[in-house]
Amino acid sequence: MRWLSKYTKAFELGFQTALEYRANFLLSLISAAYPIFIQTFMWTAIYQNSTESVVYGYTYRQMLAYTFLAGLVARIVRTGFEYEIMDDIKNGRFSTFLVKPQGYFPYRLCSFFGQKLPGLVMILGIMVIVLLSLTAFWGVAPQFYQVVAFLVTLALAVILNFLIFYCFSSVAFWIIEIGFLFEGIRIVTILLSGGIFPLEVFGTRFLQVMNLLPFQYTVSYPINVLNGKIDAAGIAQGMLVQCFWIAACWLLASVLWRWGSGRYVAVGG
Amino acid sequence: MVIDVKHLSKSFDYYKKELGLKNSLKNLFHREKLSKEAVNDISFQIEAGEMVGFLGPNGAGKTTTLKMLSGILHPTRGQAKVLGYVPWERKKAFKMQFAIVMGQKNQLWWDLPANESLFLNKCIYEIDDRDYQANLAELTELLDIKDLLNVQVRRLSLGERMKMELVAALIHKPRLIFLDEPTIGLDILSQKKIREFFKYYNQQRKATVVLTSHYMQDVEDLCKRAIIINQGHIVYDGDLHGVNELFAHSKIIKLQLSSPVSQDTLAAFGRVKEHSDFAATLEVPRIELKERSKAILDQLPVVDFNIEDIPVEEGIALLYQRREAAHALA
């Protein structure tokens, strides 16, 4: 079991690093709340001026519930290690990993989950409060099986998003300075994953295209599991699709990384 | 034999960019691809327990060579065997036995105390608890940083951080150590401390050490053998002080004077290298040393008089120039 300890230790160090920056994390939570407020006002205005009570298949309450949950889920699956990877490659620090008897991918994965954990616990706590208040004020309680299924799909969603961004981060082997590219990719993927609006807002043709891509399985799908938009059969099918995309992205990542690290030039003294 | 290098070469592609905005715009659409031979057909061998200095000006190919020997880079041509392995195959058994310290790269976690990163290395190199504790105690004692293990790395000074990096690199008792500018940016005292440490370490552990440095003092203190590399070629491989024998036809005479002497007067006795009111340094041909010394003592107001060899640094600088001159002619 000794080989395992190198990864549990990486996890632990990631965890400690996250705790080191508590204030930063709290600020990021506040900044996450900001767009949620804006959207709440926006949807309130839209529903008040609409002649129908159901817009894009969502009632006003469902829409607000979606907005809250999407803000939180998007925050949970969010990565951030892509900037570290870019730095490692750009400044040649990737070399210090190449000479060690340890894989870069499992190391990044463990450290990422370690860094994720404190925030995850906190956001799940907030989510419980949101769900309890929704139940108390609006009387919409999710079923027990929906909550369990939600947690499973959420875990898969975190892994999937990690892999998607691990693929994107390999671009750093070809293009040196890609900070803005990452920012662009992040905004687009958040939109495509349903992290801002429900995907129905964009229309059926868009949805058809989205069904062929992995993004909605990181945010939109877990929320739809929780809010009851998807039945039990649909939940199981969705999980299978998530697993398929995880396998596909993992394959793609390993191909891209093998190809890219062959190009690595280890700059600097 | 620990390292066996045969005809190793590495070339990099890069893009040419001429000065100015116009060329920058032109570069957006068309880039002229050029190739630079960073290391060009070098061969050498290093035996177990040796301490070898790799010298050369910036961009000579020292670091590129170390990167190939540690498996970070693939060579363009040629072969190398390090500890019996082909380094760029990156076998685990190979990685467990060597370490590379790069003065400008750090492996320690910035926001955490160094002992956390050290423990991570313990796990990565699968060191058992007792060995780890003993080795950690010895290394931190030698480098005098025992009290700093619990301080966050970002709060350490540059010198302290470098020492921690060394502990991190040596915690698995590597048989072979590559040091790439380990003392860069450090003050004289820290440099000295680190040199003493490696001297001791090499003697105690019988580890093979390959060192690159800009600081001549590093190499002079530590290495008997020097490999001097310039523009990707090996220009000298042998005893460090043997460099001077290449230039043995000259000697240096240092003078202290009781009254000022003009440069023109001094020039009659030898080539004036340095000159101030009460001191001068002259270079004279070795065969005429005796006569010139006598003439200087007879004719000049000499207070103190010293005969020295050409400093190693200058010898090496001359070597570079010789190589470049040969290159220019070719």
**Percentage of residues of chain A with pLDDT beyond 90:** 37
For residue A237, report the phi and psi dihedrals to the nearest 5 degrees: -60, -45
Q: Is the pLDDT of residue B71 over 70?
A: yes
* A136 alpha carbon, distance to own chain's centre: 28
The verdict on B131 touching A (C-beta cutoff 8 Å) is no
Mean pLDDT of chain B: 86
End-to-end CA separation in angstroms for chain B: 36
- Nearest by CB to residue B124, choosing from A20, A100, A265, is A100
Comparing A177 with A96, the larger pLDDT belongs to A96
Q: What is the pLDDT of residue B244?
A: 67
Q: Is the pLDDT of residue A38 over 50?
A: yes
Q: What is the pLDDT of residue B323?
A: 63
A55-80 core/surface letters (b: 16 or more CB in 10 A; e: else): beebebebbbbbbbbbbbbbbbbbbe
- Tell how strand B225-230 and strand B51-55 pair up: parallel
Q: Which residues of A touch B114 (CB under 8 A)?
A: none
Number of domains in chain A: 1
A13–B106 C-beta distance less than 8 A: no
Q: What is the pLDDT of residue B240?
A: 80
Given its phi and psi angles, is residue B47 left (phi above 0), alpha (psi -120 to 50 degrees) or beta?
A: beta
- What is the nearest CA distance from B148 to chain A, expressed in angstroms? 18
Q: Which of A16-30, B167-181, B287-301 has the lowest mean pLDDT?
A: A16-30
- Nearest by CB to residue B95, choosing from A2, A20, A100, is A100
Q: Which residues of B touch A96 (CB under 8 A)?
A: 102, 105-107
A268 located within any domain? no
pLDDT level of residue B167 (50, 70, 90 thresholds): very high
pLDDT tens, position by position, B101-146 = 987 778 888 889 999 999 999 999 999 999 999 999 999 998 889 9
In DSSP terms, which residues pair with A197 in a beta bridge?
Answer: none
- What is the nearest CA distance from B221 to chain A, expressed in angstroms? 22
pLDDT tens, position by position, B262-310 = 888 888 888 888 888 888 898 888 888 889 899 998 898 998 988 887 7
pLDDT tens, position by position, A212-268 = 999 999 999 999 998 888 888 999 999 999 999 999 999 999 999 988 887 776 654
User: Which ipTM value was assigned to this complex?
Assistant: 0.78
Site from A98, A104, A257 to mutate, B interface, most B CB atoms within 10 angstroms: A98
* Axis-axis angle for helices A2-20, A22-49 (nearest 10): 70
B120–A262 C-beta distance less than 8 A: no
Q: What mean pLDDT is predicted for residues A53-60?
A: 88
Tell me which residue range forms the domain holding A254.
2-263
Q: What is the CATH number of domain B3-239?
A: 3.40.50.300
Residue A205 in tokens? 């043709």
Cβ-proximal residues to A235 (8 Å cutoff; 6+ apart), any chain: A149, A153, A225
pLDDT tens, position by position, A86-144 = 888 888 888 888 899 988 888 888 999 998 888 888 888 988 888 888 888 877 778 88
B98–A95 C-beta distance less than 8 A: no
Mean pLDDT of chain A: 88
Give contacts of B 68-97 with A, CB under 8 A: 70-74, 90, 92, 95-96
A269 located within any domain? no
Q: Where in chain B is the domain with CATH 3.40.50.300?
A: 3-239
- What is the nearest CA distance from B259 to chain A, expressed in angstroms? 48
Residue recorded with tokens 């976690």: B109
User: Coil, helix or strand for B330?
Assistant: coil
For residue B272, report the phi and psi dihedrals to the nearest 5 degrees: -80, 115
* Axis-axis angle for helices A232-263, A144-169 (nearest 10): 20
Measured between CA atoms, the residue of chain A closest to residue B110 is A17
DSSP of A39-58: HHHHHHHHHHH-SSSEETTE
Q: Is the pLDDT of residue B79 over 50?
A: yes
In whole angstroms, how large is the CA radius of gyration of chain B? 24
Q: What is the pLDDT of residue B327?
A: 60
- What is the nearest CA distance from B285 to chain A, expressed in angstroms? 39
The verdict on B12 touching A (C-beta cutoff 8 Å) is yes
- For residue B93, the one-letter residue type is A
Residue recorded with tokens 């290093």: B46
Contact between A65 and A227 under an 8 Å Cβ cutoff? The reply is yes
- What is the nearest CA distance from B59 to chain A, expressed in angstroms? 9
- Nearest by CB to residue A5, choosing from B96, B98, B123, is B123
Q: Which of B61, B68, B40 is nearest to A95 (CA)?
A: B68
User: Coil, helix or strand for A224?
Assistant: helix
Q: CA–CA separation, A210 vs A43, rounded Å?
A: 23
Q: CA–CA separation, B76 vs B37, rounded Å?
A: 9
Contact between B181 and B213 under an 8 Å Cβ cutoff? The reply is yes
pLDDT level of residue B183 (50, 70, 90 thresholds): confident
Contact between A173 and A260 under an 8 Å Cβ cutoff? The reply is yes
Tally A–B CB contacts below 8 A.
78
Helices and strands in chain B, H and E counts: 12, 13
DSSP H helical ranges for chain B: 21-29, 62-69, 92-95, 114-124, 129-143, 158-170, 188-205, 216-222, 242-245, 263-267, 289-299, 312-329
Q: Where in chain B is the domain with CATH 3.30.70.1560?
A: 248-309
A262–B126 C-beta distance less than 8 A: no
A126 located within any domain? yes
- What is the nearest CA distance from A268 to chain B, expressed in angstroms? 8
Q: Which of B62, B53, B85 is nearest to B209 (CA)?
A: B53
Q: CA–CA separation, B125 vs B170, rounded Å?
A: 11
**Percentage of residues of chain A with pLDDT beyond 70:** 97
Q: What is the pLDDT of residue A269?
A: 40
A75-A80-B149 Cα angle (round to 5): 115
A209 located within any domain? yes
DSSP H helical ranges for chain A: 2-20, 22-49, 60-77, 81-90, 94-98, 104-138, 144-169, 179-192, 204-210, 220-226, 232-263
A93–B67 C-beta distance less than 8 A: no
The verdict on B119 touching A (C-beta cutoff 8 Å) is yes
B248-309 has CATH 1.10.3720.10 classification:
no
DSSP of B59-72: TSSHHHHHHHHTTS
